[in-house]
Amino acid sequence: MLRRAWKPLAATTVLIGTPSYLYYTFTKQQTFDLAVKVRGADGMPLMANRTFSMLSQNAVKDRLIENASSDSFSRPDSTVWRYATASVAANDPLEDAHADAIIARDPSDPSAPGDWLFFTVMDGHGGPHTSRLLSKTLISAVVLELSSLIHSTDVPKSGLLEKLKLIFRTSAPKSREDPQNPERISLAIRNAFTKLDQELINAPLSVLAANLDAESIKKNILPDLSKHPLALQTMLPAVSGSCALMAVFDTTHRHLYVACSGDSRAVAGIWEENEQGQGSWRVEVLSEDQTGRNPSELKRIQSEHPPDEAGSVIRAGRILGGLEPSRAFGDARYKWPREVQDVLNRAFLVGNDQPLRSPPSSFKTPPYVTATPVVTHRDFDFGSVARPSRSPTSRFVVLATDGLWDKLSSEDVVALVGGHLKGLKGVVSKTALPELVPTVSGAPTVEGKEKKRNNSSGSWSFEDENVSSHLIRNAFGGGDTESLRKLMSIPAPIARSYRDDTTVTVIWWEDGQEGNAKTVAFSSDNIKAKL
């Protein structure tokens, strides 16, 4: 009797218990504990466990695509250009920024058709002020500097549009004096970076000078300009800072220029096939991480200061033991003399209750940081030329802030983008990916930090449509869903101890695929909107 009664009872348990279990599993908020640094009762720092709610997989995906975008455009030579960008914040607000601009050659240009393409990523620190300003001004500054190669520095009366068109007209042979000579283009880009930083750093001084009258100067009285409308507008971009990385594509002459100020990095993947049709992606690193751990940067900085500072200008890989990137916009604490810092602090910041931190104790002979970039030039295949590749996509370039490179190597990134372009889906073990997406080393990576990556175990995930979001997902956990969810769930500002703001832009191009992309109309409004 008991045995007969057990069977319907068991069935009832299955029917009723299973939905209850599922409900409990999917509605109960999952949490995890994390050791964080806090202040004790005596004001001293100590470590304590804190409990945080864990994001769901859908919430993680939402954050990965929250700041993601992509676009494409076709050109008359049958090349389709595509680019995708994504950002994930660790700070609140996000301190990274990015920008892009596309300028078509005028039809009357003897070198037409062709374009100039500009892509930038900015890695801000000490606030978002410098990076946001650069996202609005850096490309324009480079374009205007390039224009001085053709004409005088005065903008013509016909306006900016006509000036931009004149920049890219070429008819003379490429002599050293020719404006389109790569050496001169590279110099123009360097000058644009340097001049823009000088304007940024000098802006507060200009505001102060405009508000000093003869009586104040005579009596050595410093006015309180904290409520001046330009007080914080000029000071904050100067005292915060930002790295900047720019790629400039000249599709007519098949030139690629990369300008790097700081520790963001540019990497190219180049598909190569042998006679049997077997191919691999060559990893070409297009920039060097610029920190005190870079031997070239260490040598440069030591040469710019007295011998007695050789042991102090770089400490633990950082400028004066503090700032990590050795090249950056802003960061006036490493550029202004002490006296200037004191005056501008009292004039603009003290009254806003945002006093400037004192410079490091070893601060003696500024400036210690420069925004002048290292610019590299390469001849590059932009498509529409004969090549043995069976794939329409054989080149791509990745620009990313150091938040990505803290987690992934250059080889990882090229393999992950190559797999994405190949159409891989699902979870792929890290040991299996090299067989599916083989890579070979080209120009090596110059690391700017001491990194301890464990890439020998675990798995990668191929599920995101946006290739830049795909890279960020894999930087933060990949196929290890629980680790990804935990890392993405840590709130600001605690998150900054475990990951950095991360911005990625991927640019690639395809032949004969113009039917799959929209054609961009390059009207005067388009150009003005971009620049």
**Residues 64 and 472 sit within 8 Å (Cβ to Cβ):** yes
Q: What is the 3-state secondary structure (H, E, C) of 299-318?
A: HHHHHCCCHHHCCCCEECCE
What does the pLDDT look like over 51-62, one tens digit per residue?
Answer: 999 999 999 999
CA distances from 47 to 32, 202, 441 (A): 16, 42, 42
- Cα angle 262-445-400, degrees, rounded to a multiple of 5: 50
* Percentage with pLDDT > 70 across the chain: 81
- Our CA dihedral for 193, 196, 200, 201, rounded to 10 degrees, sits at 60
Contact predicate 73/111, CB 8 Å: no
- Number of residues that make up the chain: 531
Report the pLDDT averaged over residues 512-525: 40
Cα–Cα dist 450/318, whole Å: 12
Predicted confidence at residue 317, as pLDDT, reads 94
> Whose CA is closest to 128, among 97, 89, 98?
97
Per-residue confidence at 446, pLDDT binned at 50, 70, 90? confident
Q: How far is CA 188 from CA 40, 235, 257, 427, in A?
A: 53, 27, 11, 45
- Band (454; pLDDT cuts 50, 70, 90): low
pLDDT at 391: 52
Q: How far is CA 298 from CA 315, 327, 363, 509, in A?
A: 10, 12, 17, 37
Q: Give residue-wise pLDDT tens across range 222-278.
A: 999 999 999 999 999 999 999 999 999 998 889 999 999 999 999 999 999 888 778
pLDDT tens digits for 322-364?
Answer: 999 999 999 999 999 999 999 999 999 999 999 999 998 999 9
- Check if the beta carbon of residue 368 is closer than 8 Å to that of residue 334: yes
* pLDDT exceeds 70 at position 385: no
- Rounded Cα gap, residues 121 and 260, in angstroms: 10
Whole-structure pTM value: 0.86
47, β-bridge pairs = 37
Count CB-CB contacts under 10 A for residue 65.
18
Helix (DSSP H) and strand (DSSP E) numbers for the chain? 15, 19
Q: CA 530 to CA 139: how far, in whole Å?
A: 9
Which residues have C-beta within 8 Å of that of residue 502, sequence separation ≥ 6? Answer: 87, 88, 90, 96, 400, 401, 403, 404, 472, 475
Which residues fall within 8 angstroms of residue 130, CB to CB, at 6 or more apart?
Answer: 122, 124, 200, 237, 238, 240, 241, 242, 329, 330
- Which value, to the nearest 10 degrees, does the dihedral of the CA atoms of residues 459, 460, 463, 468 take? 160
Among candidates 214, 209, 445, which has minimal Cα distance to 340?
A: 209
Q: What angle do CA 39, 41, 46 make, to 5 degrees?
A: 35
328 Cβ contact list (under 8 Å, min separation 6): 125, 241, 242, 243, 244, 261, 262, 369, 371
